[in-house]
């Protein structure tokens, strides 16, 4: 059975200079021999991810998207730093090899890391991979347990004491994403005023123990063992990682989690097979997280609503680039429908909150 995630041809307008890249990598990574070939992983809507093959060695190159962008949202150096800090203590993190800010190579900072080969689940289970309800439940349990394990790492001990500002994190996130949404709003986007006001008025108190948070922890950012697809062997896409409230991280993760019985507007934007028989519900995931971490989680509605709004803001930022002709990627055209559906879902959460 071959269901591994594989690269495809590089998209038009996102090509890299093979000669320049080959010279740089061979000068900075030992043991590279042979001709360099470049492919592109087609998924993802933010930073661009390429597969670099040099002889028998396969690497992954990450760079910011082409076109206008917010520098802080595509900080390659920051992403490289957290990989470097976590890899020795958290083996699910890819090993980083080299980072550069030399813009003469490809016009932007970028870094190169190891390629963790395995299965990455997209919208539906790939042909050849079957999961029983028991298998699906176990995978979901492994997913939430690993999330909890990440949140349990002492960020100061791994050298990340200055990586983020945990004090006032929730307030900054609510205000920051509200500002980003308004800055990226297009004429065809919802105003989201009710959501932003509700979040500002219902912020929970600061939690005593901040932690490393991935900020994009979801099923299609996990690499599964090809020999045992219930085993997680890698966690990808650390570009938004920081130090903050772990429940905000959990809320952002569950914003992607579409259940079997969710309404049509959520089903229409499902990106992962979180609706298969046996998969845990959002409520069950929160319950297991709470039990494993030994903390009580009250009023999770706030964190879930924030996750939905933040996801709408991210989609709107990407759609903004397409709307204004800064990218030709046709995948971005449909994101405006996701923004509207996420707004409807967040409103529903608000109306049902604290009942």
Tell me the pLDDT tens digit for each residue of 277-325: 999 999 999 999 999 877 788 889 999 999 999 999 999 999 999 999 8
Domain boundary (84, 114, 144) is at 114
Same domain, 257 and 301: yes
Same domain, 63 and 170: no
Same domain, 168 and 246: yes
Q: Has residue 43 got a pLDDT over 60?
A: yes
pLDDT band of residue 328 (cuts 50, 70, 90) is confident
CA distance 49 to 42: 8
Give a yes or no: residue 122 inside a domain.
Answer: no
Give a yes or no: residue 159 inside a domain.
Answer: yes
Which pLDDT score is estimated for 70?
47
List Cα–Cα distances, 64 to 101, 177, 231, 338, in angstroms.
Answer: 12, 20, 30, 23
Same domain, 52 and 172: no
SS3 at position 319:
helix
Same domain, 338 and 263: yes
Same domain, 77 and 137: no
pTM above 0.85?
Answer: yes
Give a yes or no: residue 121 inside a domain.
Answer: no
Same domain, 89 and 214: no
Q: Has residue 11 got a pLDDT over 50?
A: yes
Indicate which CATH number applies to the domain containing 101: 3.30.200.20
Which pLDDT score is estimated for 13?
83
Q: Has residue 72 got a pLDDT over 80?
A: no
Give a yes or no: residue 292 inside a domain.
Answer: yes
Summarised one tens digit per residue, pLDDT across range 198-251 is: 999 999 988 878 999 999 999 999 999 999 999 999 999 998 999 999 999 999
Give a yes or no: residue 123 inside a domain.
Answer: no
pLDDT band of residue 67 (cuts 50, 70, 90) is low
Give a yes or no: residue 4 inside a domain.
Answer: no
Backbone angles phi, psi at 48, to 5 degrees: -90, 140
Q: Has residue 44 got a pLDDT over 70?
A: no
Q: Has residue 73 got a pLDDT over 60?
A: no
307: Cβ–Cβ under 8 A, 6 or more apart, which residues? Answer: 248, 251, 252, 253, 254, 255
Give a yes or no: residue 183 inside a domain.
Answer: yes
| Average of per-residue pLDDT across 125-145 | 96
Give a yes or no: residue 164 inside a domain.
Answer: yes
**What is the domain extent for residue 265?**
133-352
Which pLDDT score is estimated for 3?
61
Which pLDDT score is estimated for 161?
95
Contacts 24+ apart (CB under 8 A), 91-95: 92/146, 92/232, 92/233, 92/234, 92/235, 93/234, 93/235, 93/238, 94/60, 94/234, 94/236
| Average of per-residue pLDDT across 134-150 | 98
Which two three-digit tokens encode residue 307?
A: 């996750």
HEC letters along 11-49: CCCCCCCHHHHHHHHHHHCCCCCCCEEEEECCCCCCCEE
Count structural domains, the chain.
Answer: 2
Indicate which CATH number applies to the domain containing 140: 3.90.1200.10
Same domain, 199 and 64: no
Summarised one tens digit per residue, pLDDT across range 19-38 is: 999 999 999 999 999 999 99
Domain boundary (82, 114, 146) is at 114
Average pLDDT of the chain to the nearest whole number: 92
Same domain, 42 and 80: yes
Contacts 24+ apart (CB under 8 A), 62-66: 62/110, 62/111, 62/112, 62/113, 62/239, 63/106, 63/108, 63/109, 63/110, 64/108, 64/109, 64/110, 65/321, 65/327, 66/13, 66/14, 66/327
Which two three-digit tokens encode residue 38?
A: 């470049």
Same domain, 92 and 142: no
Which pLDDT score is estimated for 331?
84
Summarised one tens digit per residue, pLDDT across range 189-199 is: 999 999 999 99
Same domain, 201 and 307: yes
Closest CA relative to residue 63, chosen from 45, 50, 82, 44: 50
Q: Has residue 1 got a pLDDT over 80?
A: no
Same domain, 174 and 254: yes
């Amino acid at each position: 059975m071959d269901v591994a995630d594989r690269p495809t041809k590089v998209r038009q307008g996102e090509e890299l200079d093979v000669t320049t890249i080959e010279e740089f990598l061979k000068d900075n990574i030992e043991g590279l021999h042979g001709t360099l070939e470049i492919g592109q992983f087609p998924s993802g809507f933010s930073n661009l991810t390429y597969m670099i093959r040099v002889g028998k060695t396969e690497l992954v190159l990450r760079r910011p998207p082409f076109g206008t962008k917010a520098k802080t949202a595509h900080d390659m150096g920051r992403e490289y730093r957290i990989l470097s800090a976590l890899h020795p203590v958290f083996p699910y993190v890819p090993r980083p090899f080299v980072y550069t800010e030399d813009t003469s190579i490809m016009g932007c900072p970028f870094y190169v890391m190891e390629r963790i080969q395995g299965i990455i689940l997209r919208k539906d289970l790939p042909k050849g991979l079957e999961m029983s309800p028991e298998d699906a439940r176990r995978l979901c349990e492994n997913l939430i347990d690993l999330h909890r394990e990440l949140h349990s790492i002492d960020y100061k001990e791994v050298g990340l004491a200055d990586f983020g500002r945990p004090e006032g994190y929730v307030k900054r996130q609510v205000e920051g994403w509200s500002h980003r949404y308004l800055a990226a709003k297009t004429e065809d986007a919802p105003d989201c005023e009710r959501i932003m006001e509700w979040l500002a008025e219902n912020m929970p108190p600061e939690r005593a123990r901040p932690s490393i948070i991935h900020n994009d922890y979801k099923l299609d950012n996990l690499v599964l063992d090809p020999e045992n697809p219930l085993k997680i062997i890698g966690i990808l896409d650390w570009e938004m990682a920081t130090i903050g409230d772990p429940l905000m991280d959990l809320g952002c993760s569950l914003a992607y989690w579409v259940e079997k019985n969710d309404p049509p507007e959520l089903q229409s934007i499902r990106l992962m097979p979180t609706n298969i028989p046996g998969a845990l519900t959002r409520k069950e995931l929160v319950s297991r997280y709470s039990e494993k971490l030994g903390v009580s989680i009250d009023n999770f509605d706030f964190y879930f609503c924030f996750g939905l709004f933040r996801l709408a803001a991210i989609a709107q930022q990407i759609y903004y680039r397409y709307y204004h002709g800064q990218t030709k990627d046709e995948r971005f055209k449909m994101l405006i429908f996701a923004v509207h559906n996420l707004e409807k879902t967040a409103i529903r959460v608000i109306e049902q909150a604290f009942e």
